[in-house]
Structure 1
Amino acid sequence: MTIKIITPEYVVFEGQVDSILLPGKQGEFQIFKNHAAIVSALVNGQVKIYTDSVPEKYSKYFTKENEAKSAYSFAIRSGVLEFNNDKGIILAE
């Protein structure tokens, strides 16, 4: 599935991921390939993408997580997620 993470200043990430863990208003939730369409508000926390690697041009925005060999996190204050047809966009602050 394809994910794009955008802030007002720059594109944080654009590429293929295995899954993504997001901080929602009701708690964390994870999206995998073939997930149902969803629009959700995001709150202060960590967006974690699970992928083999982050392209070098985006790596400065992410922290490699110790929990899994393929987890990378990015801190947000708030945002919105739209996911449909294995494509997601996150507008984050």
Structure 2
Amino acid sequence: MPLQLEIVTPEARIFSGEVDSVVLPGSDGELGILPHHVPLVTTLKPGELVYSQTGKSEYFAVGTGFVEVTGGRVSVLTDMAKGESEIDEKSVEDALKRAQERLESIKHDSATEEVAMVQAMIQKSMAQLHVKRRRKNV
């Protein structure tokens, strides 16, 4: 019995279909989901989401969000989901550099909200580079 996976961002439904398994970056670490998984709701942190479909794996860089597993369904609601082909490595490297420079300039301020926002940008950039570079080396 396959899983029904849906990956949704505020902009679009990124993927909807049957898969054999899903591995994603949950709040407490990497989470593997197979058919008949116990129901759960957890937060999603920036990282790599991998799903397998008839022996072939697909890789996505994902941002923050939520994951709900119920019965044979996995719903991923995230602020970012990009496949390897959608990631422009040079643009992401530039964004990462700008975010790191911004973090250095504000780290002594008491603007913890801004620090958290910049750190989230850095994590999303790192997730995208990880997916892009991993696929280059395969």
Q: TM-score normalized by structure 1?
A: 0.78
CA shift digits 1:18-40 (9 cap, x unpaired): 00001012210100000010101
1:36 to 2:22 alignment: no
Aligned to 2:70: 84
Q: Using CA pairs under 8 Å that are at least 6 residues apart, name the structure with larger relative contact order, 1 or 2.
A: 1
Secondary structure at the aligned position of 1:34 is classed as coil
Q: Which stretches in structure 2 are left out of the alignment for 5+ residues? A: 80-138
Count of residue pairs the alignment pairs up: 77
> Which structure is larger by alpha-carbon Rg, 1 or 2?
2
Q: Partner residue of 1:14?
A: 16
1:4 maps onto 2:3 in alignment: no
Q: Which runs of 4+ in 1 moved over 4 A?
A: none
Task: Determine helix, strand or coil for the equivalent of 2:41.
Answer: strand
For residues 74 and 29 of structure 2, the distance between their equivalents in structure 1, rounded to whole angstroms, comes to 19
Larger proportion of helix: 2
User: Percent of pairs identical after alignment?
Assistant: 31
Task: State the AA in 2 paired with 1:72.
Answer: E
Q: CA deviation at 1:49?
A: 0.6
- Give unpaired runs (5+ residues) of structure 1: 53-68
TM-score (norm 2): 0.54
3-state SS of 2:38 partner: coil
In the alignment, what sits opposite 2:100?
none
The corresponding residue for 2:49 is 47
Q: Quick one: distance in 2 between partners of 1:72 and 1:35?
A: 20
User: Which of residues 29, 32, 35 in structure 2 aligns to 1:27?
Assistant: 29
Which letter maps to 1:22?
L
